[in-house]
Structure 1
Amino acid sequence: ARPAADTPVVPLASNYDSAADAAVKKVAEAADKHRADATQIIAAAHAPQRGTNAGPGGANAGGASAGGGKASVPAVTGSSRGAAALKAAMTQIGKPYVWGAAGPSAYDCSGLVMWAYKQIGVSLPHSSSAQSTMGTAVSKDQLQPGDLVFFYSPVSHVGIYAGNGMVLNASTSGQPVKMSKLSSMPFHNARRL
């Protein structure tokens, strides 16, 4: 696998949707260059749909459904930097959680956020606590796709708000990168970059 430092960075453009599309294209190209990793990634991405780890806490607990019910993955709209980062992050759904990992084959929570924003030219620290102080504060009722949402007190988890009350996150060992309900974790604060 390529080291995270070698992950392609898409320069921030005035049209953030174009930057997001370019980021998604770069990610796809990187996957094509690393067939061995791609095979593992595809297997991990399909595992939640097949239900191979069904039951409480299994891979089926997240993915396209969250909290046990069928919850559709929100369509990403908007032209903000956050929406562009969210589009890049959504290409990583299904990849495994590994503490301290920042992609491209595995992630922890702050590593996923760091990687997604790096794709649009924004540098972030690899720490949910440090990320929770960056950018501008956003109230829970004003969240927009791409905003960073932080959980627990003190802050120990971060995800990217995806709209419709859903958060894209790398939550814990044994769980892939997935969508979760915002309400399923104790909200601490939110920031917009």
Structure 2
Amino acid sequence: MRTWFNLASSARPASRRSPRWPCSRRGTWLGLLALLLTMPTILACTSGLAITQAPRWACPSPTPLPYGETGPVKEVIRHTRPVTEGGDWDEQIFYELWEQEYPEAAGRPFPSPTPYAKTGRAYVFGQRVEIWPFHVLVTASAGPEITRASAAANAVQLYHVTITWVNHTVEAVPINYAQQVRLRALTTPTGQLLSQAYWGVTAEALSVSALPVLPTTIPPGESSVQIPILGPVGTPHTVELEVATAPVGIFLLPTTTTLPGLPTSTPQPTLTPTPRPLNTGLHAPGRETVTVQWSNARWVPPGAEPCLDPGALTDWDDGRANAAAATDLIMPAPPGASRVVQLALAQVGKPYIWGAKGPEAFDCSGLMTWVYAQIGLRIPHGTAGQWPGMQPVDHAALQPGDLVFFAIAGGRIDHVGMLVGDLNGNGRWDMVHAASPGLGVRVDYDIFESPYYAPRIRGMRTAR
């Protein structure tokens, strides 16, 4: 009964003998076919999914300290009045939203609370985990029951494990899903928890699911793969992913697109491949691995509600849960500038790509969404969502970090930028934005006096 759980690849060649040279044309094609069939296996042995630091996760959706009438009393004010009117009375004053996080702030600031984070090997379905240089989100669901002649009726069930990758390298990184992904545990209809180490993808699972053959690489950028697995009837409880901890290759990461000085058009980086180290020991090196698990559970931070976001897509400083990575600012921020302004200015020089949401490239609304996510605030996507979905603010009440919207083409709202205060010291508002494919992320000065931008302004919005 265990034959249908075999993890042997159906693409394994019948023979590993090297073709002889010279040879017939038929022999040549057979040799080439054998080489192509074994190539995924060769790649998996020489390179592949490996990590360079401990897996970790951070939630950018903050839960503020209690405020309002459901929170603690900030102060009590004693009011005097005549006995005939009821006598003296006490007025309770409560904290405003975010006030406890920023007790020294003059006025309501842009909130930037510390998000929740954890480091380790165990996570829950739906959490986007950083396994650098990748971010990985895993979910699992139960499919139909499968009846086969070799098994009792309705004794086998098809499961689907869905993995969403964000590959931050510029390489297609080899992976063998049959060897590296398992349905590690499931819950039976009676509530019993079953655990096995061999519930993985098989040729039969692919056949009954009608899914295509699984890819052998993780492409750069974001991608998803659905992995069919056969197992006993139940619901998925735990999925595990095995990754190497001693990489045999060096990942090729994008070079920086941020240039010093004033913002200018920045060309795409030139990528130089890094040679992989040779095996000088004349024997196969050891392969240390770590297993990361996602389970059907509900993680609740102590004293707070569960995180409503799958997790940060960017690095954070350390294990104590600082969601936005510290970075040297290329464009100097005004004294006392909020974190959201600092982060926006730090993107100056990066390329504009329509639809890009960061962190290596942006379009205009994508830059706004990404920057706010780093401080724990979710704002709508796209100018069509941000313009009607955010709070209007008039010119007199503007603060650095507020958004300004334009109708560049003269019709509907089609562009957005962030007001960052006065960068050039002339007392006028300046703006950072993902301007265009030719200009990238840049700063434009004196926006409300600009002959080009001022006539196209349609209004401002705030997330405060």
Answer yes or no: same fold by TM over 0.5: yes
Distance (whole Å) between structure 1 residues aligned to residue 372 and residue 457 of structure 2: 21
Question: 2:265: which partner in 1?
Answer: 59
Residue of structure 1 equivalent to 2:459: 189
C-alpha distance in 1 between matches for 2:431 and 2:413: 16
Larger radius of gyration: 2
Aligned-pair distance for 1:59? 1.9
- The residue number in structure 2 matching 1:177 is 441
Partner of 1:158: 416
Root-mean-square deviation (Å): 3.4
What's the secondary structure of 1:59's corresponding residue? coil
What secondary structure sits across from 1:158 in the alignment? strand
Deviations 1:26-65 (A, max 9, x none): xxxx9x96685452x2xx322x7499xxxxxx628xxxxx
Q: How far did residue 115 of structure 1 move?
A: 0.2
Larger strand proportion, structure 1 or 2?
2
Contact 1:59 1:175 in 2 (8 A): yes
How far apart, in 2, do the equivalents of 1:188 and 1:11 lie? Answer: 30
Change (3 A) 1:179 1:76: farther
Aligned positions of 1:92-131 closer than 5 A: 92-131=347-386
- 1:77 is aligned, of 332, 336, 361, to 336
User: For the Cα contact (< 8 Å) 1:97–1:176, is it kept in 2?
Assistant: yes
Q: CA deviation at 1:126?
A: 2.3
Query: TM-score, structure 1 length as denominator?
Result: 0.65
What one-letter code is carried by the residue in structure 2 that aligns with 1:59?
Answer: S
Taking only the aligned residue pairs, the percentage that are identical comes to: 31
CA drift of 1:123 comes to 1.6
SS in 2 for 1:177: strand
The normalised TM-score by structure 2 is: 0.29
Question: How far 1:74 sits from its partner (Å)?
Answer: 4.3
Matched residue type, 2:404: V
Q: Distance in 1 between the 2:114 and 2:431 partners? A: 21
8 Å contact kept, 2:111–2:375: no
Give, as a single letter, the amino acid of the residue that structure 2 aligns with 1:77.
Answer: G
- Cα offset, 1:178, TM superposition: 1.2
Query: Matched residue of 2:354: which SS?
Result: coil
**Structure 2 unpaired stretches of 5+:** 1-56, 65-100, 103-108, 116-129, 134-167, 169-250, 267-330, 423-428
Shift of 1:127: 0.9
In the alignment, the residues of structure 2 paired with residue 91 and residue 128 of structure 1 have an alpha-carbon distance, to the nearest angstrom, of 22
- Which protein, 1 or 2, shows the higher relative CO under an 8 Å CA cutoff with sep ≥ 6? 1
The answer as to whether partners of 1:20 and 1:87 remain within 8 angstroms in 2 is no
Q: Where in structure 1 are there 5+ consecutive unaligned residues?
A: 1-6, 23-29, 52-57, 61-71
Q: Which amino acid aligns with 1:110?
A: S
CA pair 138-59 structure 1, distance change in 2 beyond 3 A? same
Matched letter for residue 441 of structure 2: V
Cα offset, 1:111, TM superposition: 0.2
